[in-house]
Structure 1
Amino acid sequence: MNIKEKIGLKVKSMREEKGFSIEHLANISNVDRNYISDIEKGQRNVSITIIEKIIHALDVDFATFFNDKSFVK
């Protein structure tokens, strides 16, 4: 699994934990819903700026988001 897929799965997992639809996450993060969908599918090289918008909307910080064994080889 590559890093794009790992980030996508993490975003999707955290979004679902919060009970958010992609549309809701898009609205509160100010990121296009199709872009979020592509991130979750591992199809986007997502910038750190977009990650920041998304994790802020999910009410987590970078340390929490990346504190996951799936990001370590």
Structure 2
Amino acid sequence: MGKNVWECVEMESLGRIGKSSLRDFTMRVVLLIVIAKIAMRTLWRTLLSLRGTNEVRDAAIHNHAQSGF
């Protein structure tokens, strides 16, 4: 019986370790997803603003060329 009790204690501690590491793992994954979303949003805004400035610059060059100067 003593051996059986120790096996139960071992299984219980392993289960607790498994649950806590699973919770840590899910927290890390959620955090990683949030960070990735923020990074993608920032990158997307940067790309859009760069594209916008290029369009403005191209339009200014085009208008400048049309005006004859």
TM-score bucket of the superposed structures, by smaller chain:
under 0.3
Higher helix share: 2
- TM score, norm. by length of structure 1: 0.25
Considering only CA atoms, is the larger Rg found in Structure 1 or Structure 2?
2
